[in-house]
Structure 1
Amino acid sequence: MPKNKLVAPEQESFIQGRNALLERINHGDISIGEAIRTMRELLGMTQTEYGEKVAKVSRKALSQLENNQGDPRLSTINRCCKAFGLEAGLVQKRL
């Protein structure tokens, strides 16, 4: 009989948060900035930590991205999303 895999509460919370985020992305209910902020928060990182360790951008640049300001490069957006197995792409505009 296979053993049930135990999941730590913080890991379970992360999985639930990630699944909720993916659902919002699939429904088009979240901006790129909001999605990146949510990813960072799910990882429990500050803007400085996420910028330096994940996105390779300054805290200021990450803040602008999270607030849907500025004009980020596609490569920057992709670096921010890579930790979640995501990348920027095209979706049909909702009417």
Structure 2
Amino acid sequence: MMARRMYWYKDVVPFTAMAALQCANVGLNIVFKAATLKGMSFYIFITYSHAIGTILLLPLSFMFPRTTVLPPLKLHIVFRLFLLGLIGY
């Protein structure tokens, strides 16, 4: 019974999540194409999609609160984040 449960968590759940995210990505691309063909601005579409994502994901942070304490933020980590953002831009 325990081995079967571990199989479920280690193999089936990540695969299902990956497939669901790919389907959501394709759906978002289809909606984006349809919206831009009708004249919607790229920036407005991004704003709406981020707002919908926030509305959907924000309640999860209250349902599943963090149980571990984060380590303190050090200067070299902040510098690495800044450099990563600069390179990504």
- Provide the TM-score with structure 2 as the length reference: 0.32
- Provide the TM-score with structure 1 as the length reference: 0.30
Select the structure with the greater relative contact order (CA < 8 A; seq sep ≥ 6).
1
